[in-house]
Structure 1
Amino acid sequence: MKFPTVLDAREHPSRTTVHCAAAIAVGLAALLLPHVSWSQDATCAQRTQALSQGVDFAAAAARQAPAVVGVTVLGQSDDWPTIDTSANVSASFGKVAGRGLASGFIFSREGYVLTSAHAVLGAQQVVVSTVDKRRFDAEIVGLDRRTDVALLKIAGGSLPTVALGRASRLCPGEWVAAMGAPFGFERSVTAGVVSANPRYMPGGGGVPLIQTDVALNPGNSGGPLFDERGDVVGMNSMIYAVGGGYVGLSFSLPIDTVMRVAEELRATGKVTRGQIGARTQPLTDELAPAFGLAAATGALVVRVDAGSPAEIAGLRSGDVILSVNAADAMSYEDIQNRVSAARPGGRLALNVWRHRAALPVQVAVAPGVADAVPRVARRADTHEVRFGLEFSERKGLPGIGLLDPGLYVKSVSGSAQAAGLRFGDMVLAVNDASVSSQAEFDAAIRSVGDNDTVALLIMRGSARGFVPIAPRRPVAPVAAAAAAAMLP
């Protein structure tokens, strides 16, 4: 069977539910049906524009890199949706308690940044890092979980911006490249070809995606996908995995869709969609004969919400919605899009198939529930104690006991959490002053001003590295090394 989606804008009640449902739906889809066929066959076959022989992404990457940013999120840890078909669950990568890493890109000189909605869900604080090592506290203007788009705003003018293209022109076999910060390695470039465009995922609410074989990993979320001309044609969103690893199936949201959502978020802070309260699933070739239909088109009603416009109109489980405001049968994706695009307060004319006969149904359109925007905090309280670190001192002789003597992180919040410190890290020095106790740590930071960046020497396992702690009183964007580059 196929698991149902909601025929409205409320497909994603929570990240956990979303990821598990998507994982199950896509895992079954691989067994049951090829969800869509090759697209744009005629258009791509008739193309006369000669693409370059021997693609070189070096110039394109250099062109886009100044506008690609790193996004550090505090308050949540699930920063990468992975459809894991082996376990039927969403595999989480790079989990650090309370901290997530993603990518994004600047599309407006006024400081508007695009990233993935799943990356900032649950965020208490969002920090954007630019190519010139500046760090900005970011405001979440709005987000839309259905398309996985979030719009951020940072201070600053005359910022570099990406060059935008059109995803609708992409053909299977065309070369594309992604840029982002997989596992924190900033502005990494990976390349591949378009596998399908558009690709509709079962349970995806009719949202089109660009399928590629570009290698994407945790931290790539929200980064740009650009074509060989150097124009951004998509925003990287998720991978399809077996066992939690990349296997050559990656998905990006077309930039045309991204920008439509971004403009609505910019104007109103939310995306408004219609809904009728009918939960549906695609009608497959296997299911169609059971309902007396020769063609597998339309949306099969699985459940009708109590008190919804669908119930008032008389829709029931087992009905097949063949079309919306049209005489000819429509695809499942087109029906989803037609309903969600309807304005609340209007009415839709449904062509319904019931008991092997057509039935016209008029249904009212109700407003969908807009996604709530997380309330983010400004960076680093001026009264923050020890940068948000709480320590445990380990005493004794080296080599005796499980841990060597030293100063260990017991809990972390605030500035230290933003920098990537975590439980169990050993603090060896503050700037160039060695420390082995809390008293020595306190003495070392007394001379540090609220406007100064501090470098803490950290040992994690067998690795050592200096980690920059941003100023406790950020009077202006300051230069700072990327937090993600702190340790392996």
Structure 2
Amino acid sequence: MIVRRVRFLVWFMMAGAGVAWAGQLPDFARIVRENRAAVVNISSTEVMKAAIPGLGVPGHFVNPFFHGPPRGNGSAPRRFAMKSLGSGVIIGANGYILTCAHVINHAKQVIVKLANHRDYVARVIGLDTKSDVALLKIPATHLATVRIGHPSRLQVGDWVLAIGAPFGFENSATAGIVSAVGRNLPGSDYVPFIQTDVPINPGNSGGPLFNTRGQVVGINSQIYSRTGGFMGLSFAIPINLAIRISHDLKVSGHVPWSWLGVTIQNVTRKLAVSFDLRKPYGALISEVLPGSPAARSRLQAGDIIVRYDGHPITRASDLPPLVGFTPAGTPAYLKIIRNGHPETLSVVVGALPEALPAAYTRPPRKPHDNTSLGLALRDLTGHERRALGVTQGVFVEGVSHGPGAKAGIVPGDVILSLVGRPTASVPAFMAILAHVLPQHPVPVLIHRDGRSMFLALSK
């Protein structure tokens, strides 16, 4: 009898705990009920000459909006009409709608369908491919709108909810949690994405991401997929960034991005040790582009930017949005760490040019073996230096097992400096290496695919 009572008490306590936990879940039904009228379905038609790649490509970032892409049969390219589906969110009662640029880019006609099933032909106010934000306008008034939240208050683990039209199924709601914040993706340097595990599929692009207060905190933009469908990795544009960009689009039809002209990377734990930092933080400059605003300042490769105009830089992705919205011609004050010592300097930011230097290829030459690091090195020719746009360096012809491979050096890299000292030739590299202490990571600057980056090398 006593055993039965104990078991019943344990079951009752567990059940009670379960009820209490369930009571803490967000009221998703309320969020959908209060906001579904402000979410729209967007369809557009674009005349194409060939099938669009992306969906179904293994391990690629995908803009999930294409519906039923044509299958190629190996014949010559032909013209066809590609219909795309997407979502949007009403931010102005007078007809202004936010969506993703890739949903309506190159579209011949954009149709917006409201939750009450009324259709409108939308006018494209402007779009910005760098941020993937677009602003539309429909001839309607007294529309339902959403409340804007604060993405900066999001924490990993927070509940979030998306409303959109996956595969054309309008006003579908999906939920999940925030997986990461400030995520930097290839080709989207100016956007610190919100990563979630909210199920996002073709047709969700441009739709809103809500917090538990029913406020929009992001615009769903991309997924990472090996199949073209949802695999647990979704990315949203922070709403404060999207709203700011929409203002520029409304005023001038474009976004006047600014730049410094530097290539940056995160400071890893090993790189922090190699640069004598107490912890990994900041944006490490691996390259200063010729003719850029940074080249006209005192910035140099190896500097670690830890503060920009009073804003702390914790990771590399923190810097581009701050620089991007700084008006061109304005001086910005940077706190950097150089050779282990803090310094403050100013840089006059410039307008981002339309085209940046392209990557170069490297012709193979006879290598010089360096078995102690597992690297096959050789000197660069004058022609190669001009083609690569570098003044010095040694070419990595081959990599075998050893410290070089562990550091991440690959064949085709050009080693520009070691411990901050230029490597003009293989003998110069070997002379510097001779003074490197065993087992202590040191920074090595390499040039790869037209860009430079630091690695931590242990002898």
- Same-fold call, TM cutoff 0.5: yes
Gaps of 5+ in 2: 1-20, 71-80, 356-459
Whether the aligned pair in 2 keeps the contact of 1:79 and 1:119 (CA below 8 Å) is no
* Structure 1 residues 329 and 247: alpha-carbon distance in aligned structure 2, compared to 1, 3 A threshold: closer
Task: Spell out the pairing of 1:143-222 with structure 2 (5 A cutoff).
Answer: 143-196=127-180, 198-201=181-184, 203=186, 204-205=188-189, 207-222=191-206
Following the alignment from structure 1 to structure 2, what is the Cα–Cα distance between the partners of residues 168 and 302?
28
Gaps of 5+ in 1: 1-49, 372-488
* Structure 1 residues 193 and 184: alpha-carbon distance in aligned structure 2, compared to 1, 3 A threshold: same
Following the alignment from structure 1 to structure 2, what is the Cα–Cα distance between the partners of residues 76 and 280?
38
Whether the aligned pair in 2 keeps the contact of 1:82 and 1:240 (CA below 8 Å) is no
**Does the alignment pair 1:113 with 2:97?**
yes
Secondary structure in 2 matching 1:123: coil
Whether the aligned pair in 1 keeps the contact of 2:190 and 2:324 (CA below 8 Å) is no
Following the alignment from structure 1 to structure 2, what is the Cα–Cα distance between the partners of residues 169 and 350?
25
Following the alignment from structure 1 to structure 2, what is the Cα–Cα distance between the partners of residues 60 and 201?
29
* Structure 1 residues 83 and 310: alpha-carbon distance in aligned structure 2, compared to 1, 3 A threshold: farther
* Structure 1 residues 155 and 140: alpha-carbon distance in aligned structure 2, compared to 1, 3 A threshold: same
Instruction: Kindly state the Cα deviation for residue 153 of structure 1 after the two structures are TM-superposed.
Output: 0.8
Following the alignment from structure 2 to structure 1, what is the Cα–Cα distance between the partners of residues 312 and 297?
21
**Does the alignment pair 1:249 with 2:220?**
no
* Structure 1 residues 325 and 169: alpha-carbon distance in aligned structure 2, compared to 1, 3 A threshold: closer
Identity %: 39
Query: Which position in structure 2 is the counterpart of 1:442?
Result: none
Instruction: Kindly state the Cα deviation for residue 58 of structure 1 after the two structures are TM-superposed.
Output: 2.9
* Structure 1 residues 129 and 300: alpha-carbon distance in aligned structure 2, compared to 1, 3 A threshold: same
* Structure 1 residues 291 and 123: alpha-carbon distance in aligned structure 2, compared to 1, 3 A threshold: farther
* Structure 1 residues 247 and 329: alpha-carbon distance in aligned structure 2, compared to 1, 3 A threshold: closer
Whether the aligned pair in 2 keeps the contact of 1:109 and 1:159 (CA below 8 Å) is yes
CA distances 1:71-107 after superposition (whole Å, capped 9, x unpaired) = 11222779998897x5456587533553311100212
Aligned residues: 320
Task: Spell out the pairing of 1:38-437 with structure 2 (5 A cutoff).
Answer: 53-75=24-46, 86-88=58-60, 90=62, 94=67, 95=69, 97-196=81-180, 198-201=181-184, 203=186, 204-205=188-189, 207-325=191-309, 330-354=314-338, 360-369=344-353
In angstroms, what is the RMSD of aligned CA positions? 3.4
Following the alignment from structure 2 to structure 1, what is the Cα–Cα distance between the partners of residues 306 and 156?
29
Instruction: Kindly state the Cα deviation for residue 188 of structure 1 after the two structures are TM-superposed.
Output: 1.3
Following the alignment from structure 1 to structure 2, what is the Cα–Cα distance between the partners of residues 79 and 237?
18
Task: For 1:60, give the aligned amino acid.
Answer: I
Following the alignment from structure 1 to structure 2, what is the Cα–Cα distance between the partners of residues 277 and 210?
25
CA distances 1:138-180 after superposition (whole Å, capped 9, x unpaired) = 2221223343221111112222323444444444444332111
TM-score by length of 2: 0.60
Task: For 1:342, give the aligned amino acid.
Answer: T
Larger relative contact order (CA 8 Å, sep ≥ 6): 1
Task: For 2:99, give the aligned amino acid.
Answer: T
Whether the aligned pair in 2 keeps the contact of 1:176 and 1:227 (CA below 8 Å) is yes
TM-score by length of 1: 0.57
* Structure 1 residues 76 and 333: alpha-carbon distance in aligned structure 2, compared to 1, 3 A threshold: farther
Task: For 1:71, give the aligned amino acid.
Answer: I
* Structure 1 residues 293 and 87: alpha-carbon distance in aligned structure 2, compared to 1, 3 A threshold: same
Instruction: Kindly state the Cα deviation for residue 62 of structure 1 after the two structures are TM-superposed.
Output: 2.9
Task: For 2:207, give the aligned amino acid.
Answer: G
Instruction: Kindly state the Cα deviation for residue 181 of structure 1 after the two structures are TM-superposed.
Output: 0.9
Following the alignment from structure 1 to structure 2, what is the Cα–Cα distance between the partners of residues 305 and 178?
40
Following the alignment from structure 1 to structure 2, what is the Cα–Cα distance between the partners of residues 356 and 115?
44
